[in-house]
Amino acid sequence: MIELGVNIDHVATLRQARREGWPKVVEAARVCEDAGAHQITVHLRQDRRHIQDHDIEDLAQSLRVRMNFEMAAVPEMIALAHRIRPHSVCLVPESREEITTEGGLDVAARVEELTALTAGMHERGILVSMFIDPDLAQVEASAATGADMVELHTGQYANAAEADTPAELERLRTCGDAAVRLGMLFNAGHGLSIRNLAPVAALPGLHEVNIGHDIISRAIFIGLDSAVKEILAILQQHAA
């Protein structure tokens, strides 16, 4: 079974649009858990545009499934992760101007720094995932840091013209195979949806996907419970 992490950042986006206490992130997480999600993923951005510090604290208290904490590799977030001790951290690049995480982390350019960061997480029992573009040099660099997993950025696959989709899938397959060969788990995320998930689910060795925007968008029309379940059904039906 390919595992599903539901990214609930955009529940907080809706809440922050009014700066009210509603909709509640913790309640959304509970619905996802009850629908069968294996993990809840949250990204505390440095600009606090959606998830807030108190959401992380509240989720740490209330989650029954594991928490995957997406973070920039900066001292403030490292200290928070060390204190909260999520199941895993996923290291992402972050720039204040971007609408969403636009590309993968350049692990190859920061191996020494990220090796130390990974060791610090491991000392506290936290697994480390590198969010990288499907590029073999980045997969190899991730393995060199001691990371437990890579999450391959599927944004280019998701946005590719139809004619380019097979080549994008091939990049994901090659890098996923390499990650597994190097002893890491192979995860995928970004831009995945009910429209494009099936071919990704069929990639050999895929361990987990993290999906946010599409699930929360679908929830407007069919409810969060059903939106999670339809993704789980695609994963089940198409897994290699």
Cβ closer to ligand PXP: 68 or 169?
68
DSSP string, 97-142: T-SS--S---GGGGHHHHHHHHHHHHHTT-EEEEEE-S-HHHHHHH
Q: Which helix (H) or strand (E) holds 167?
A: helix 165-181
- The answer to whether 218 contacts ligand PXP (rule: CB under 6 A) is no
Pick from 131, 133, 147, 178 the residue near ligand PXP by CB under 6 A: 131
Pick from 44, 92, 127, 149 the residue near ligand PXP by CB under 6 A: 92
- The answer to whether 138 contacts ligand PXP (rule: CB under 6 A) is no
Per the annotation, the verdict on 190 as an active-site residue is: yes
Per the annotation, the verdict on 140 as an active-site residue is: no
Stretch that binds ligand PXP, among 25-33, 71-79, 169-177, 188-196 (CB under 6 A): 188-196
Contact, 37 vs 216, CB < 8 A? no
Which residue's structure tokens are 């190899």? 140
| Secondary structure class of 6 (helix, strand, coil) | strand
Per the annotation, the verdict on 43 as an active-site residue is: yes
Stretch that binds ligand PXP, among 52-60, 120-128, 167-175, 187-195 (CB under 6 A): 187-195
238, 158, 151: which is closest to 189 by C-alpha?
A: 151
Pick from 39, 88, 101, 145 the residue near ligand PXP by CB under 6 A: 101
Q: With contacts defined by CB under 6 A, how many residues of the chain interact with ligand PXP?
A: 19
Rounded to whole angstroms, the Cα distance separating 62 from 74 reads 26
- The answer to whether 192 contacts ligand PXP (rule: CB under 6 A) is yes
Q: C-alpha dihedral over 111, 113, 115, 119, to 10 degrees? A: -170
Identify the active-site residue in 3, 10, 43, 94: 43
Rounded to whole angstroms, the Cα distance separating 137 from 100 reads 24
Stretch that binds ligand PXP, among 132-140, 172-180, 206-214, 226-234 (CB under 6 A): 206-214
Interface with ligand PXP (CB under 6 A) = 7, 9, 43, 70, 90, 92, 100-101, 131, 151, 189-192, 210-214
